[in-house]
Amino acid sequence: MHVIKVRSREREEMIEITDEVRRRLKESAAREEEGVCVLFVQHTTAGLTVNENADPDVQSDMLHALRTLVPQHGMDFRHNEENSDAHIKTSLTGTSVTVPFQNGELLLGRWQGIFLCEFDGGRERQVVMTIIEEKGKG
């Protein structure tokens, strides 16, 4: 089990953590091993997602669309911390991602990266990483 710490600067931000996950997987997973890597964010106003890491416009378009769907103000939210939008976006993206691996390498597609989605930053965030072996392997 690993804990990955992420520092956000903006209220809303997509922060790629693929390299960090890759590095820790290499440390832990033996050669010829197969399985899945589970990432879980321990917060209620930040999510995790897998999406394109080539063009940063994809990330800003994603935040823009989520902001359009669930604006911070104007939806008559009752929670008095003015971050209900962030809680909702967290449930829309989800708090965990599961990515398969083989021979110590994440089996991500060519354009895929793993992102922490900050919806109420800047803050220190924590992601728990668990490595699970496929049956009959390792």
Closest CA to 132 of 64, 36, 33: 36
| Residue 130 CB partners (closer than 8 Å, separation 6+) | 1, 37, 38, 40
Confirm or reject binding of residue 6 to a second copy (CB under 8 A): no
Residue 91, H or E segment = helix 84-93
- Per-residue mark of binding to a second copy, 35-54 (x: CB under 8 A): xx-x-xxxxx----xxxx--
Q: Which stretch binds a second copy (CB under 8 A): 4-12, 17-25, 83-91?
A: 83-91
Measure the CA–CA gap between 44 and 14, rounded to whole angstroms: 16
73 binds a second copy (CB under 8 A): no
Amino acid symbol at 48: L
* Interface with a second copy, residue 94, by CB under 8 A: yes
Q: Where do contacts with a second copy occur on this chain (CB under 8 A)?
A: 1, 28-29, 33-36, 38, 40-44, 49-52, 55, 57-58, 60-62, 64-66, 68-70, 75-81, 84-85, 87-88, 90-100, 102, 107-112, 126, 128, 130-136, 138
